[in-house]
Amino acid sequence: MRIRDLDDKARSARQKAADLGPDIDLDSYTIESPPHEAISDLARLSDGDKERMLLAGIESDTGERSGSYIQKDGVPVFTASLQEGLEIVPIREALEKFDWLADYYWKLIDVDTDKYTARARLDLHNGYLIRALPGARITFPAQACMYLEKDGFSQNVHNIIIAEEGSELHVITGCATAAHVSSGIHVGISEFYVKKNAKLSFTMIHHWAEDVAVRPRSAGIVEEGGLFLNNYICMKPVKSLQTYPRTSLVGKGAVARFYSLLVGSPGGELDAGGGIDLKAEDTRAEIISRAISNGGNILARGDLVGEVPGARGHLECRGLILNQGMIHAIPELVGKVDGVEMSHEAAVGKIAQEEIFYLMSRGLTEDEATATIVRGFLSVDIPGLPAPLQKEIDRAVDMSREDLL
């Protein structure tokens, strides 16, 4: 579809509320980005920015990163690839430069899905293309940061991530706000392409402010023998989050695993989950989520659809209510043919008193015992995730544990 047609289609959805999540008045946010100067080196970021970005897993010391993309409000301020075979290009530039990108832009998500997709097309600021060339093994993570510096800003981005045939790519995306920002909205489209025998891990850490609304719109496709690991961590206060990435496994033996860690703080509304469609033989899918309500409301969704014999999927949804709030686990399984194997496990509750006493009898105070159990609850081993990324996840978990108690 040509850009003009996309725009027409988007316009028709300008006012269209989303199926899920509270409706947001987009007009109450500005789309005028202040100018930001490009920087030549991440070390040049202000200490305040560095600190906030680090909270979302973005390192200004890039020793353990294969490349970086940093966007402040609507403006890319830094783009660099440090490894051969890795391309990182701001999406606007990429759309002009690469004709082939038209085959990937708005291909997995309909531009008229809702007002957020419409905005991401019609008022697009920027975003990134991150691509591992065929056969490239990009073992250090590439990092991308979406930073909100202007209060009341609507940040509209579009990202395309491509792991070409036989490649390996790890991406960490950190979304954060500057310390003074309290409100804003982030509208982010992400399209993931995992080609034949490629491996892509995508870890997103959200570290927003209390009054920020977040509407990601993501979708992925995994070809034969491909592996897509998708981790989502949102443990800091946020006003409203609604996300429901959908991934299709279209090639034989394709595998997708989604992990999410969510904390709902007082006043927060989180509606998060994901769906995986198993469309080819020997495909495997796993969705694992851990949700803690610390006074907020959380809807934890998960949906597996088995369409061919031999498809296997497992969904695990565990919720912990710490200080009131609500958790609603909605695990769904659909088997469309004979011979699919799908299961789910869901549990919502509070911390078992018995576990607290057990730890107290080993010398911990009640608070220490609670903290230890919460840490355990949030610790999921993610096989195949490089150590620096596991480190970032652990850091986020440790920080949130401090907040919770």
Partner 1 sequence: MLVIEDLQVMMGDKELLKHIDLEIRPGETHILFGPNGSGKTSLIMTIMGYPQYRVTYGKIYFKGEDITNMPIDERARLGIGMSYQRPPSIKGLKTRHMVEICAGDGADVDSLAGRINMNSFLDRDINVGFSGGEIKRSELLQLMAQKPDLLLFDEPESGVDLENIVLIGNMINELLERDNTPTKDKSVKEIKKARSRMGLVITHTGFILDYVTADQGQVLYDGVLACKSNPVEIFKQIKSVGYEECVRCGSET
* Interacting residues with partner 1 between 326 and 355 (CB under 8 A): 352, 354-355
Pick one of 11, 107, 344, 375: the residue that binds partner 1 (CB under 8 A). 375
Phi, psi of 159 (to 5 degrees): -120, 140
Q: Choose the stretch contacting partner 1; rule: CB under 8 A; options: 73-81, 207-215, 335-343, 374-382.
A: 374-382
| Phi, psi for residue 172 in degrees, rounded to 5 | -120, 125
Task: Pull the structure tokens for residue 228.
Answer: 């897509």
Identify which of 153, 159, 269, 262 has the alpha carbon closest to the alpha carbon of residue 217. Answer: 159
Q: CA 405 → CA 256, 257, 339, 398, distances in Å?
A: 34, 30, 46, 11
Intra-chain end-to-end CA distance of the chain, in Å: 51
Give, as ranges, the residues between 173 and 192 that touch partner 1 (CB under 8 A): none
Other residues' Cβ atoms within 10 Å of the Cβ of residue 179: 12
Return d(Cα 111, Cα 113) in angstroms, integer: 6
- Chosen residue from 364, 371, 382, 399 binding partner 1 by CB under 8 A: 364
Among 35, 99, 361, 383, interactor with partner 1 by CB under 8 A: 361
Q: Would you say 202 or 377 has its CB closer to partner 1?
A: 377
Q: Is 371 in the site for partner 1 (CB under 8 A)?
A: no
Q: Which of 3, 379, 391, 394 binds partner 1 (CB under 8 A)?
A: 379
Q: How far apart are CA 62 and CA 145, in angstroms?
A: 13
Among 82, 372, 386, 395, binds partner 1 (CB under 8 A): 372
Report whether 68 contacts 142 (CB < 8 A). yes
Closer to partner 1 at the Cβ: 39 or 359?
A: 359
Among 139, 343, 365, 405, binds partner 1 (CB under 8 A): 365
Q: Alpha-carbon Rg of the chain, whole angstroms?
A: 20
Per DSSP, the three-state class of 65 is coil
Judged by beta carbon, residue 213 or residue 288, the one nearer partner 1 is: 288
Amino acid at 276: I
Q: Please, which residue, 171 or 397, has the CB nearer to partner 1?
A: 397
Burial class (CB in 10 A: 0-12, 13-18, 19+), 11: middle
CB of 108 vs partner 1, minimal distance in Å: 34
When binding is defined by CB under 8 A, the residue of 363, 383, 387, 402 that contacts partner 1 is 363
Q: Considering the complex, what minimum distance in angstroms separates the CB of residue 215 from partner 1?
A: 31
**Site size with partner 1, rule: CB under 8 A:** 22
Task: Pick from 263, 377, 401, 404 the residue near partner 1 by CB under 8 A.
Answer: 377
Asked if residue 394 binds partner 1 (CB under 8 A), the reply is no
Residue of the chain from 2, 47, 362, 402 that contacts partner 1 (CB under 8 A): 362
- What DSSP element (H or E) covers 277? strand 269-278
Q: Is 366 in the site for partner 1 (CB under 8 A)?
A: yes
- Which tokens in the block code for residue 18? 């989303």
Query: Applying CB under 8 A, does 383 fall inside the site for partner 1?
Result: no
Q: What tokens does 390 get? A: 């596991």
Comparing CB distances to partner 1, the nearer of 1 and 347 is: 347
Spell out the alpha helix ranges (H) of 206-317: none
Give least dist CB 316 to partner 1, A: 11
Q: Are 127 and 95 in contact (CB under 8 A)?
A: no
Q: How far is the CB of 368 from partner 1 (least distance, A)?
A: 8
Output 92 or 375, the one with its CB closest to partner 1.
375
- Residue closer to partner 1, measured from CB, 301 or 401: 401
DSSP annotation of 304 reads E
373 binds partner 1 (CB under 8 A): yes
How is residue 278 written in tokens? 């198993």
Q: How far is the CB of 53 from partner 1 (least distance, A)?
A: 28
Q: 168: part of which helix (H) or strand (E)?
A: strand 168-177
Q: Is 175 left (phi over 0), alpha (psi -120 to 50) or beta?
A: beta
Q: Which of the ranges 133-141, 189-197, 322-330, 361-369 carries the binding residues for partner 1, by CB under 8 A?
A: 361-369
Helix (H, G, I), strand (E, B) or coil at 131: strand
Minimum CB separation from partner 1 for residue 358, in Å? Answer: 5
Using CB under 8 A as the criterion, which residues of the chain lie in contact with partner 1 when the complex forms? 352, 354-355, 357-366, 369, 372-373, 375-380
